[in-house]
């Protein structure tokens, strides 16, 4: 199964993978060697922590390698659509609160709520996909139902 991902999201995963392999894993190997030199491993908290970190790093590397292998990179700067699609930045007017919000629809591994990046598979993302400017979209969210008017759709921001 392919996972939609922006070029930026793909680049960030590659950077994290490189950092884990070239910096974190070698440092962890060194930490294990130092802890091992302290003697009795059965009561060595540093050794236990380093081994636990080793397991985390190995798991994260496998996870990232899978995500990279199954990524479908979508160049959002080349998209043109009058409907909300993956990679679109959508300007919404919250009819309940009377405020404007902006969300960019991204892959699950790129979500960053502080910067307005929401998952394609989130309740808001699913509700927005396929909608056009001027439409009112009802979104069922954990915080309660909301209605938003789509004020604009843009790409490549």
Domain CATH code at residue 61? 1.10.287.180
Length of the chain: 157
In this structure, are 13 and 82 located in the same domain?
no
In this structure, are 128 and 60 located in the same domain?
no
The residue with tokens 């390698």 is 65
The pLDDT of 75-103, averaged and rounded, is 90
How many domains are there within the chain? 2
- pLDDT at position 157, please? 55
What letter does residue 129 receive in the DSSP assignment? T
Asked if residue 45 has pLDDT above 80, the reply is yes
- pLDDT at position 155, please? 87
In this structure, are 51 and 90 located in the same domain?
no
Which tokens hold the place of 60? 């994260």
The pLDDT of 129-151, averaged and rounded, is 89
In this structure, are 57 and 85 located in the same domain?
no
Question: What mean pLDDT value characterizes the chain?
Answer: 91
Structural domain for 43, as ranges:
3-74
How does residue 139 score in pLDDT terms, banded at 50, 70 and 90?
confident
Of 54, 74, 94, the one marking the end of a domain is 74
Angstrom distance (rounded) from CA 131 to CA 149 = 10
Closest CA to 89 of 153, 148, 132, 8: 153
Of 74, 91, 110, the one marking the end of a domain is 74
Of 36, 56, 74, the one marking the end of a domain is 74
């Amino acid at each position: 199964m392919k996972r939609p991902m922006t070029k930026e999201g793909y680049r960030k995963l590659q950077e994290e993978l490189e950092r884990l392999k070239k910096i974190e894993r070698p440092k962890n190997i060194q930490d294990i060697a130092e802890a091992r030199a302290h003697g009795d491993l059965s009561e060595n908290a540093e050794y236990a922590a380093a081994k636990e970190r080793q397991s985390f790093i190995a798991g994260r590397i496998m996870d990232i390698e899978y995500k990279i292998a199954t990524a479908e990179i979508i160049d959002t700067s080349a998209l043109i659509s009058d409907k909300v699609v993956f990679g679109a930045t959508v300007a919404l007017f919250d009819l309940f609160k009377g405020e404007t919000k902006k969300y960019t629809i991204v892959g699950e591994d790129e979500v960053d709520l502080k910067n307005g990046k929401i998952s394609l598979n989130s309740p808001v993302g699913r509700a927005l996909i396929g909608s056009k400017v001027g439409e009112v979209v009802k979104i069922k969210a954990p915080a309660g139902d909301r209605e938003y008017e789509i004020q604009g759709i843009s790409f490549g921001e």
